[in-house]
Amino acid sequence: CDGIDSCGNENEVCTKSRKFFSIFATPEQYNGKWSILHCVSGMEKLDTQFIKGDCVAVSFSFGGNQVLGKNSYIELLIPQGYSWDFDCQYIYGAAYVYLSCLNLCKSSPCILDKLVNIGSCVNQFRERVYSITSHNQLTFLVKNRRDGTYQNDIFPCDNGVCVDYSKVCNLVNDCGDGTDERNCKNNFGCHTNNEILPLSKVCDGSIDCFDFSDECNDQCIGNKMIISSLVVTVTGWIIGVLAMVLNLKIIPYSLKSINSSKTNESLANNTLLILINLGDLLVGLFIVTISAHNLYYGSSYCKMQLEWLTSASCSFVGVLNSVGITVSVLSMTTLSLFRVTSVSRSFPILSPVSGKEKLKLVIITFSIVTAALFTALIPL
């Protein structure tokens, strides 16, 4: 329930299971304290690999700094036996800030790298109260109009803007300069623009970044080339070349057999065998063409796949494959029907070649080729 519909119906399920639906960016308040993870009503005694024991309250103060006049410190309820190996990649906002800065996130350092100083938050918080930290640094406090307390739990961006903790590491560039998302370990930033994605969208087989960087990076395996397997590549070359060479050798021989056919049955068999050879030749040409393009693009295919998939070459090899397979299948089916019909006769009679039989074979050949072309070209 992170607000990203990763499962197809995740948002719908989360909406029905909660009174409200939103990205988990702010901990829930429970018994006057902010609750992290399982320390919420009804789940305090939950015993899992992460929780061993009751929840305890800790005070959150970035860098251990105490600020003169600050009388509102965030108290967090966290599991007492909380595992330090927890992965915070699907936690966002204030919850991510608190957990990372309490060293409770695996491989996620504290996102807060500097204190709010007197020059921060330009044109914001005009009623600020200037103060000093326990480390003798100048800062300011902001009065909470609801309870009258003073606090400075805000994130200073590099461009002088300040945002609330709930807007830090929440997949949105709230600062405007990307500072609030820059060092977060729960997101992925596209390489050439300001797009920010959840980690679930990286290497998922679907391109989300305009520069393809979410799929074309060192983390992703299996999508670098048109044919990623070396075994399949070598096998493709062998089968493709053999299919072309052998069928090119057989087709002239089959054409001679047609001219020497003495019976209608022999003429039909030889004609359909040529069509099967022709279909196999086209499939072999398709395999060789794909293998050649795989060699041409190499590891750069990932970033150039849109160029390839929309090219005339890709459409051409697609038509080759579709026509070849369709011609072979229809020809084999027709040949099987002819043979079944011949075998089913009690006393098969071999008829000499006639003009009527030749016309019938021309119509059958034309129909098979037309059906194959129709099947291949209609999707284009």
CA distance 205 to 208: 9
CA distance 156 to 115: 7
- pLDDT band at 32, cuts 50/70/90? low
| pLDDT at residue 22 in the model | 45
Which string of b and e fits 287-315 if b means at least 16 CB within 10 Å? bbbbbebbeebeeebbeebeeeeeeeebe
- pLDDT band at 106, cuts 50/70/90? confident
Q: Which of the two residues, 27 and 320, has the higher pLDDT score?
A: 320
Tokens representing residue 347 in the block? 């006393």
| pLDDT at residue 21 in the model | 41
CA distance 273 to 239: 20
Q: Which of the two residues, 167 and 351, has the higher pLDDT score?
A: 167
Range with top average pLDDT, 40-44, 67-71, 219-223, 294-298: 294-298
Specify the DSSP class assigned to residue 193. Answer: S
| pLDDT at residue 86 in the model | 65
Examine the pLDDT at 205 and tell me if it is beyond 50: yes
Q: Provide the percentage of residues in the chain whose pLDDT is more than 90.
A: 19
Taking each helix axis from N to C end, the angle separating 264-297 and 355-377, rounded to the nearest 10 degrees, works out to: 20
| pLDDT at residue 348 in the model | 58
| pLDDT tens digits, one per residue of 313-342 | 889 999 999 999 999 999 999 989 888 887
Which of 37-46, 258-267, 295-304 is predicted with the least confidence, judged by mean pLDDT? Answer: 37-46
| pLDDT at residue 58 in the model | 77
| pLDDT at residue 247 in the model | 93
- If you average pLDDT over residues 277-305, what whole number do you get? 89
- If you average pLDDT over residues 338-360, what whole number do you get? 75
Q: Provide the percentage of residues in the chain whose pLDDT is more than 70.
A: 81
CA distance 209 to 188: 10
Enter the pTM of the model: 0.59
Q: Please give the distance of CA 182 from its chain centroid, rounded to a whole number.
A: 22
Residues paired with residue 139 on neighbouring β-strands, in sequence order: 131
CA distance 49 to 28: 22
Give me the numbers of helices (H) and strands (E) for the chain, helices first please. Answer: 8, 11
- pLDDT band at 355, cuts 50/70/90? confident
Cα radius of gyration rounded to whole Å, the chain: 35
Show the DSSP H helices in the chain as ranges: 10-17, 93-101, 179-182, 230-259, 264-297, 301-309, 312-344, 355-377
| pLDDT at residue 166 in the model | 86
For all residues of the chain together, what is the average pLDDT? 80
Closest CA to 158 of 191, 120, 193: 120
CA atoms within 13 A on the CB side of 275: 28
What type of residue sits at position 212?
A: F
CA atoms within 13 A on the CB side of 284: 17
Closest CA to 271 of 194, 369, 154: 369
| pLDDT tens digits, one per residue of 207-262 | 888 888 888 887 776 657 788 788 999 999 999 999 999 999 998 988 888 888 88
| pLDDT at residue 284 in the model | 95
- pLDDT band at 288, cuts 50/70/90? very high
| pLDDT at residue 23 in the model | 47
Q: Is 266 helix (H, G, I), strand (E, B) or coil?
A: helix
- pLDDT band at 2, cuts 50/70/90? low
| pLDDT at residue 243 in the model | 94
Taking each helix axis from N to C end, the angle separating 264-297 and 230-259, rounded to the nearest 10 degrees, works out to: 150
